[in-house]
Amino acid sequence: MVVDDGSTDATWEKLTALKERIAELNPVQNPGPHGFGRAIVYGLDHMHGDAVTIMMADESDDTRDAVRYWEELNKGYDCVFGSRFIKGGGVIDYPRVKLLVNRMANFFIRLMFNHALNDTTNAFKAYRAEVIAGCRPLIAPHFNLTVEIPLKAIVRGFSYTIIPITWRNRRTGEAKLKMKEMGSRYLFICLYVWLEKYFSRGDYRKR
pTM value is 0.91
Whole-number Cα distances in Å, 100 to 67, 71, 75, 87? 29, 32, 34, 19
Residue 58 reports pLDDT greater than 70 = yes
Average pLDDT over residues 102-113: 95
183 vs 42, residue with greater confidence: 42
The domains located in the chain, with CATH, are 35-199 (3.90.550.10)
Average pLDDT over residues 20-44: 95
DSSP string, 121-172: T---EEEEHHHHHHTPSP---STTHHHHHHHHHHHTT--EEEEE-EEE--SS
Q: What is the pLDDT of residues 164-175, one digit of tens each?
A: 999 998 766 565
Residue 176 reports pLDDT greater than 60 = no
Residue 70 reports pLDDT greater than 70 = yes
